[in-house]
Structures are given as C-alpha cells and as structure tokens.
Chains A and B, each alone.
Chain A
Amino acid sequence: MALSERTFAVVGKSVQKIDGLGHVTGRTVYVDNLTFPGMLFTAMHRSPLPHAKILHLDTSRAERLPGVGAVVSYRDVPNNLHGLLTGLGVQADEPLLAEHEVCWVGQPIAAVAAADEDTAREAASLIRVEYEELPAVFDPLESLKEGAPPVRTAYGVYPNYYLYAGQPCRRIRYGDFEAAIQKADHVITGTYRTGPIEHAPLETQVSVAVPESNGRLTVYSTTQALYFTMGLLASLVGLPLSRVRFVGGTVGGGFGGKVDGATEPITGLLALKSGRPVKWRFTREEECLYSSVRGACHLEYTDGVMNDGRIIARKVRSIQDSGAYNRTSPYGVNKNANHVAGPYRIPNVWVDGYCVYTNKQPTSAMRGFGVFEATFAIEVQMDRIARQLGIDPWEIRFRNAYRKGDQTPTREILDSVALIETMQAAAQAAGIELTATQRALSSKEPRA
C-alpha cells in the first residue's frame, strides 16, 4: 500500500505525552524527590583562584567534624585523570578532583558527605589548601598568542589549544581560497562574537548514589545521557559496569547541560566511601558558576563575492573558548568547522577552527553545539553581503543555496537539501512576496 494511503496511529496525529498527567498533578518524580534512610548530603570545596599550584591539601579538620560521613579528594579516585571524549581519541586532560593544580575558579578539590547540608558546607569550609598562584589568561584571543601563559601545567606540557592531528586547529581546505579571493569582485569581511550561555534548567544537577547490599552502586541521576555518565562513573571510580546501575527518569530541563557528569562520580565516590546513600543537589549559584556552559565563540569571515552575489571564496577563522579543560569542546569545534561555511555552495573554502583553553569554567555542549554560533555569524554575514552589493537578502541566499548534487567543503555530495523550499515556505508564512523566478526554484534542479 502506498504511504499516502495508509492510516497511522501516531504519525500525523496529536498524541498526549505519557508523562503529561504526572506533570499536571505534581506526581512526576524528579531526583530531588528521592530520599533514602541514612542519606548524606554533599558539599564541595572549590578553588578560589583561576590558576595555582596546589602545594598542600589538608582535609583532616573536615573529617573530624561531627556529622561527616566521608571526605574524598584526589587520593580516593582510582582513575582521577579523565576526559569525556577518550572514546573518540581525545586525550584525558581533567582531574575529577584537583591534585597538582587548579585551573579555574570553582574547580572541585575535595568533597564532603554529611548528615545535612549545613554540616556538609561547614566541613567543606574547614578544608585547607595551600596555593602558589600562577599567571592566568581569560581571553581566548590572548591565550592563542605566542608567549601567553600556559593555562594548564600539570600532566605535561600542553599548548593553549587542542591539537587536531598535530595541527593547532581543525582545518578545512577546499578548492583554492587564496587564488579565488584574487578573482572576486568584492572582498567582504565580518567579525562575530557569541557569549557564553548558561543552560539554566529549572531543575539543577542532582544525583543520589546508593551503595547496595549486593555490592552494586545504584545512581539516580538527572543526566541526559545515562550510558555515557554510567561509563564515566564506572571508569573514574574503578568499578566494572556490571556493578553499576543507573536510574534516570524525567529531567527538569537539560539543554545539553546535564551530560558532563557534574555530580555522579562524586556522589558515587562518597557513597562507596561512607557506605551510605549520598545526594548532591546543585544550588542555583553552583549551577550558574560551576556547571558547564556554552563556550564563547569568536568568528572572522573573509568572503570573496562576485557582482551577481555568488560567493566564490570563504575563509573562516573560528575560535571557541573551551575554558580550562576539553570536556566536549574538541567535538564542538568539529561541528562548528563543518557548518561554519553555511548551507551555501561555495567552491573555495578555508576553515581554521580553534579549540582554545582559558582559565575559566570549562565549556561544553548546549543545543546546536558549535552550530548555533556558526549560524548567527553566517546569516549576519549574508545580510552584510546583501547590503554591500545592493542585492535583496532573500535573493542572495537563493542564489547561493545548495542544490542536489553539490559538494560540501568536506567533500560530501549532497543528495537531499531543502534551503530553497524552506525559504519559500517561510516567505509564504511571513507574507513576503517572492519573485516568480524565486518561487519557481527547486533544490532538485542544478543551478543555471
């Protein structure tokens, strides 16, 4: 039977959310609703400095405070140095709990589990750290410069940027930008910057780790990525996966911010050490200051454009602020580089995408990771081109839009593209009158 003749139960129908009734009656259970007998609460002692060597760490006063169930530091973490993307070949670079060095204000150093939040916080404040301050750098453009102070010095010599196949940036070289730019009728440049953004989910990061009598560790978590976080915890804490059980459920908003294992490895460690269930709920302040954020991005465009509006050459220098550690930024920069030339057919594209470290809060995934920043820059640049050439902004996009069979700067041959159709539908919805020629365009037809 043809697809158009079938009747569907779900496709094309408005279907109620299975958790909708729970939401409106208040019955939906979020991790912070969970409580267990003997449960302890967590507080973290964090770095007050953006960059310093740790000379001495003393947790003894915290350990002695009545009501404290356990204190953990780097000494308690079997595999302290880790990375979220080791599975993709990105080297581990971040300690779960700082050992030699702190590289951002707020970096976790030692955690306490105690009978109530006040006691936990008091104990955390009794942890003593001796520092030797080191120079810090906060601007990714400064960090890239020759002679900039190194953002991280422990665990070896690192440049202040991630190395992609031995190169300081992710590179795309398609066609011959340098030759093509000479032939352009116009050279149009633009610099665009997006700021860091906090996901601000209404529910903050929460997890409860429960040591079971059968030797397993059960973790109730707000993570958006159960298997990912489960694997992270297991490897950090040195447990086989068969001994770790993760329970997820309704997440009170994630947006990419509940993927990095902000609380789970810590509650897991504290639960194993204390033998008691341990909860950690981030305060709103912790969520803003210490959880991952979308990294700031700095993009420089140099376009070679012909009089008729065709973009024949595009060079993009894209600098993404990774903060003090990798987290998922090397991957984000890949996505950024892949998309940064836009949904437009450009025969000569040069991209340099940098993943740069600074002594700030590590940045990571957020909706449209790497692509959101690019889209902003691309479309403002298109409007700039349109203005400079005196061409209608819809027309400039129709002229350059991908068609079926076009090749991308990463050498993919495109089969199914629909920018033209999307623009036609958008124009209709917005009540914009397109020309007959524009209305007749089709992505399936090669350009004239």
Chain B
Amino acid sequence: MSVATTPAAQTELVVSFTLNGRPVQVRTRALDSVLAVLREQLQIGSVRVGCNEGDCGVCTVLLDGEPHRGCLLPAFVAEGREITTVEGLGDVNQLHPLQRAFHEHFASQCGFCTPGMILTAKSLLDRSPAPSREEIVAAISGNLCRCTGYRSIIRAIESVAQQGGR
C-alpha cells in the first residue's frame, strides 16, 4: 500500500519562517536543505556550497540564534522559526560591529568563509559576551578558512568582545 494515502504524508510542503526579520514562505520537497532553499528561492548569496556534507561551515546559518549547517538542515524544520544570515546583521552603510571588525582586522582574504565565520562569532558573543581566547577558538573550530590562518579572525572577534559590542 502506498504510504502517501495516509493523512500524515506529503511530498511537497509550504514552509513559513522568518528570514532576517521578514516573513517568507517557500515550497519545498521533504529533504530540500535550508542551503538550497535560501540560495535558489530566496536569493541569499552569502550562504554557500563548500562540501554539502556538514564539514566546512560555509553554509552556516543561525536558526533561532544558534549556528546550524544549512546543508544538513531540512528546510521544513525551519517552520515558524527565525533564520539569520549576514544580510540580516548589517550592510555596507550600517555594519554590525563584527562585520566592521572583520574588515578592519583583515580577517578575510577570499571571503568565502567569512559570512559563516561572522554568524558563528555572533552566536558565541550572544551566548558568552566575554569569551576567553580558548572559547573563541573552540567556537570557530567548525568553520574552515583556507586563507587567513585564523589569527586575524580571532583578533577581530576578540576586539568586538573587548568593546562589549555584539
């Protein structure tokens, strides 16, 4: 018998959530990832494809303020929740302190890891406003950077923590 005849079964879903403060609605299939939906339907270019298996962190999004792998998160799980990407933190004319600090500390070279790194840093500072260097290192250990060697990234985050900004 087909499982589809049960009332609980669906093949296409409508998912409503908040994206950077705006309500949005998308049509997805069961296992479409948040990464795919953000890129293909919502024109979010900052959440990227690096490995598509949860290892590199360039797909990082904040779900209710907590870092998640966008490539591993089924979009339907976002129903009723809040997704934040760097587009929601600030823009060129009004930078978030973390964006400013990353820019000023040269914490970015090719830029590919930067949005994911910034989101992870934001969730850390929201959770722990005065983290030790060790805590910062542990928090960003899930975001790969192939260019900077991480020092400038750590310094950027430390500088924001020191200023009490988040």
Q: Taking beta carbons and an 8 Å cutoff, which residues of A are in contact with B?
A: 16-17, 19-30, 32-33, 200-204, 250-253, 255, 281, 283-284
On whether the beta carbons of A281 and B49 are closer than 8 Å, the reply is yes
Q: Which B residue's beta carbon lies closest to that of A16?
A: B103
On whether the beta carbons of B110 and A25 are closer than 8 Å, the reply is no
Is B86 interfacial (CB 8 A cutoff)?
yes
On whether the beta carbons of B112 and A30 are closer than 8 Å, the reply is yes
Segment at the A interface, from B9-17, B50-58, B130-138: B50-58
On whether the beta carbons of B146 and A24 are closer than 8 Å, the reply is no
Is B48 interfacial (CB 8 A cutoff)?
yes
Is B165 interfacial (CB 8 A cutoff)?
no
In the assembled complex, the Cα of A202 lies from the Cα of B49 at a distance in Å of 8
B50: which of A19, A23, A203, A250 is its contact (CB, 8 Å)? A203
On whether the beta carbons of A25 and B86 are closer than 8 Å, the reply is yes
Segment at the A interface, from B62-70, B73-81, B113-121: B113-121
- Additional A-B contact list (19), CB under 8 Å, known A16-B104, A30-B45, A30-B48: A17-B106, A20-B103, A20-B108, A21-B103, A24-B102, A25-B87, A26-B44, A26-B45, A26-B46, A29-B45, A30-B112, A200-B146, A202-B48, A202-B113, A203-B48, A252-B110, A255-B146, A281-B49, A284-B50
* A-B pair number, CB within 8 angstroms: 98
* A26 CB contacts on chain B under 8 angstroms: 44-46, 85-87, 114-115
* B111 CB contacts on chain A under 8 angstroms: 19, 22-23, 28, 250, 252
In the assembled complex, the Cα of A27 lies from the Cα of B50 at a distance in Å of 17
Q: Which A residue's beta carbon lies closest to that of B49?
A: A32
Interface-central residue, A20, A22, A25, A283, by most chain B CB under 10 Å: A25
Give 8 closest A-B pairs by Cβ, nearest first. Answer: A26-B46, A23-B111, A252-B112, A24-B99, A284-B51, A26-B86, A202-B112, A23-B108
* B58 CB contacts on chain A under 8 angstroms: 202
In the assembled complex, the Cα of A383 lies from the Cα of B45 at a distance in Å of 50
B110 to chain A, nearest CB (A): 5
Q: Which B residue's beta carbon lies closest to that of A199?
A: B146
On whether the beta carbons of B50 and A24 are closer than 8 Å, the reply is no
On whether the beta carbons of A251 and B110 are closer than 8 Å, the reply is yes
In the assembled complex, the Cα of A33 lies from the Cα of B100 at a distance in Å of 24
Q: Which A residue's beta carbon lies closest to that of B98?
A: A24
* A22 CB contacts on chain B under 8 angstroms: 111
A32: which of B48, B108, B113, B147 is its contact (CB, 8 Å)? B48
* B113 CB contacts on chain A under 8 angstroms: 202
Chain A contact residues: helix, strand, loop or mixed: loop
* A201 CB contacts on chain B under 8 angstroms: 110, 112, 146
Q: Which A residue's beta carbon lies closest to that of B40?
A: A35
A-B contact pairs, 25 of them (CB 8 A): A16-B104, A17-B106, A17-B108, A17-B109, A20-B103, A20-B108, A22-B111, A23-B111, A24-B86, A24-B98, A24-B103, A24-B114, A24-B115, A26-B85, A26-B115, A27-B91, A28-B111, A30-B48, A32-B48, A202-B144, A252-B48, A253-B112, A253-B146, A253-B147, A281-B49
B110: which of A33, A200, A203, A283 is its contact (CB, 8 Å)? A203
Is B164 interfacial (CB 8 A cutoff)?
no
In the assembled complex, the Cα of A22 lies from the Cα of B39 at a distance in Å of 17
B71 to chain A, nearest CB (A): 11
* B48 CB contacts on chain A under 8 angstroms: 30, 32, 202-203, 252
Interface-central residue, B50, B85, B86, B91, by most chain A CB under 10 Å: B50
* B106 CB contacts on chain A under 8 angstroms: 17, 20
Q: Which A residue's beta carbon lies closest to that of B156?
A: A24
Q: Which B residue's beta carbon lies closest to that of A250?
A: B111
In the assembled complex, the Cα of A369 lies from the Cα of B106 at a distance in Å of 26
Q: Which A residue's beta carbon lies closest to that of B107?
A: A24
Interface-central residue, A16, A19, A26, A281, by most chain B CB under 10 Å: A26
B137 to chain A, nearest CB (A): 19
Is B90 interfacial (CB 8 A cutoff)?
yes
On whether the beta carbons of B52 and A284 are closer than 8 Å, the reply is yes
A6 to chain B, nearest CB (A): 25
In the assembled complex, the Cα of A117 lies from the Cα of B106 at a distance in Å of 36
Q: List which B29-51 residues lie within 8 A (CB) of chain A.
A: 44-46, 48-51
* A27 CB contacts on chain B under 8 angstroms: 45-46, 91-92
Is B24 interfacial (CB 8 A cutoff)?
no
On whether the beta carbons of B108 and A24 are closer than 8 Å, the reply is yes
B54 to chain A, nearest CB (A): 11
* B115 CB contacts on chain A under 8 angstroms: 24, 26
In the assembled complex, the Cα of A16 lies from the Cα of B103 at a distance in Å of 8
In the assembled complex, the Cα of A204 lies from the Cα of B53 at a distance in Å of 14
On whether the beta carbons of A25 and B112 are closer than 8 Å, the reply is no
* A30 CB contacts on chain B under 8 angstroms: 45, 48, 112
In the assembled complex, the Cα of A281 lies from the Cα of B49 at a distance in Å of 10
A377 to chain B, nearest CB (A): 24
Interface-central residue, A23, A30, A255, A283, by most chain B CB under 10 Å: A23
In the assembled complex, the Cα of A204 lies from the Cα of B112 at a distance in Å of 11
Q: Which B residue's beta carbon lies closest to that of A203?
A: B112
In the assembled complex, the Cα of A21 lies from the Cα of B144 at a distance in Å of 20
* B147 CB contacts on chain A under 8 angstroms: 253
In the assembled complex, the Cα of A4 lies from the Cα of B98 at a distance in Å of 37
In the assembled complex, the Cα of A29 lies from the Cα of B46 at a distance in Å of 9
* A25 CB contacts on chain B under 8 angstroms: 46, 86-87, 90-92, 95, 99
Q: Which B residue's beta carbon lies closest to that of A255?
A: B146
* A252 CB contacts on chain B under 8 angstroms: 48, 110-112
> Contacts A24-B118, A26-B46, A284-B50: A202 and B99 contacting too (C-beta < 8 A)?
no
In the assembled complex, the Cα of A251 lies from the Cα of B46 at a distance in Å of 14
In the assembled complex, the Cα of A252 lies from the Cα of B145 at a distance in Å of 10
